[in-house]
Amino acid sequence: MKIGLMGGGQLGLMMIEAAHKIGLSVTVFADNRSCPAFRICDDFIESSFTDLDALSKFREQCEVFTVETENIPISALKYISEKKTVCPNGEAIRITQNRINEKEFANSLTIPTVPFIEITTSNIRNIDSYFFPGILKTARFGYDGKGQVHVGEKNELLNIVKDLTNSKYILEKKVPLDTELSIIIVRDKDGNIASYPLAENRHENGILVESVMPANVSVDVHKLAFTYGERIVKKLDYVGVLTVEFFLSDGNLLLNEMAPRPHNSGHQTINASVTSQFEQQARICAGLPIGDTTLKYDVRLENVLGDLWFSNNNCQPREPNWEKLTGGVKILKLYGKGEPRLGRKMGHLITLVRER
Ligand code: ADP
Ligand code: MG
């Protein structure tokens, strides 16, 4: 079976590795050959998601389709789903593309979020002080803390938001964080559901730097995260891997965001679980049963950021000092990105902490 994968980043790379492991092949559709997935995919279509000729060729070539990023235009997803299955479905992906939709959707399922408000031309001068200090975010396309500004009080907003015609913005109240958590839920086409243990995530400057699995939180929090995840996948008739990120704030579990795909906080599952998050995505696409999600090790992930190549100066990158790798206990994965940049995810390190 051939899977059509939209997007070519590191998540795509690892999804292809998992698909190959179980004998499936993958055609990647992406706009640029210098992406991690290009090197190992079985076929590559280089074009834009608005190119109907290329999309048509792609649609004919593969039996089933999936995404490695939520930022695939809905028009392309619709076009493909006219003839073939896309997992997860376009509506699920549409919701996760926009922070406002995502949070409204969560609240409609009585899943709490931070207090938030969409900024519009009519309300921008009269935002309730309750939302300050807050974090102003672009509703779409933000990642690794990009597209976010901390706003102390009302007047700052007017200085920052200059143009409301082309972009949508959300203002979120800044909440105290006990910790951050994420759960990876898997649902197959027959409605069977499984999940990995909750991961506990540490961010610096909005970028995930470390994730441990399982999270060191109460059984009640683990159960509640699963209950919320289950509620979401059922409501969306979701088929595939879904990640839900949470804040634990003053003991309350709040949904932060969702990703309709495997997630950085789940890379541990490659080395520590019976079946990895990526293999689950490939299996579900191929109509195979969900794999065993048992965690064999307590495990820690550290991201390898481009900053490591610039540790002595900020101008010329050079091969990093790999002192973190000494001792032989860490598993290194590099994504094969051509150029290190500050804040860019270049790879990750896994430590198997303890056998369970
Ligand atoms: P991204 O899409 O860039 O991951 P997030 O909304 O997850 O965006 O924000 C990145 C990080 O910033 C979060 O993981 C958290 O550490 C911090 N953060 C974001 N929103 C809030 C908030 N409302 N209150 C407190 N911290 C926040
Ligand atoms: Mg996030």
pLDDT digits (tens, 9 = 90+) for 181-217: 999 999 999 999 999 999 999 999 999 999 999 999 9
> What's the mean pLDDT when you consider all of the chain?
95
Q: Which-ligand-closest: CA of 71?
A: 1
Q: How far apart are CA 318 and CA 308, in angstroms?
A: 9
The pLDDT tens digits for 106-123 are 999 999 999 999 998 889
Q: Which has the closest alpha carbon to 229: 203, 272, 259?
A: 259
Left if phi > 0, otherwise alpha if psi is -120 to 50, otherwise beta: which for 160? alpha
pLDDT over 80 at 328, yes or no = no
**Least confident stretch, 10-14, 162-166, 168-172:** 162-166
Strand partners, 185: 195, 242
The pLDDT tens digits for 268-283 are 999 999 999 999 999 9
**Least confident stretch, 24-28, 81-85, 156-160, 345-349:** 156-160
Q: How far apart are CA 215 and CA 203, in angstroms?
A: 15
Strand spans (E) along 21-156: 25-30, 43-46, 64-67, 85-86, 116-119, 134-138, 148-151
The residue-averaged pLDDT of 6-16 equals 98
Both structure tokens of 91 = 């509506």
* Residue 155 confidence (pLDDT): 87
H or E segment and range at residue 237: none
Q: How far apart are CA 346 and CA 304, in angstroms?
A: 6
pLDDT interval class at 148 (50, 70, 90) = very high
Cβ atoms 262, 241 nearer than 8 A: yes
Question: Cis omega (within 30 of 0) on the bond before 289?
Answer: no
* Residue 87 confidence (pLDDT): 97
Q: Which has the closest alpha carbon to 134: 151, 158, 119, 114?
A: 151
CA separation, residue 204 to residues 30, 64, 264, 268, 322 (Å): 29, 37, 14, 19, 21
**Where do the H-state alpha helices sit in 136-267?**
154-160, 219-235
Residues with CB under 6 A from ligand 1: 114, 135, 142-145, 172, 174-175, 177, 180, 203, 206, 256-257
Mutate to test the pocket of ligand 1, among 98, 100, 148, 171 (most ligand atoms within 8 A of CB): 148
Q: Which-ligand-closest: CA of 172?
A: 1
**Least confident stretch, 49-53, 67-71, 106-110, 141-145:** 141-145
pLDDT over 80 at 324, yes or no = no
Distance linking the first and last C-alpha atoms of the chain: 35
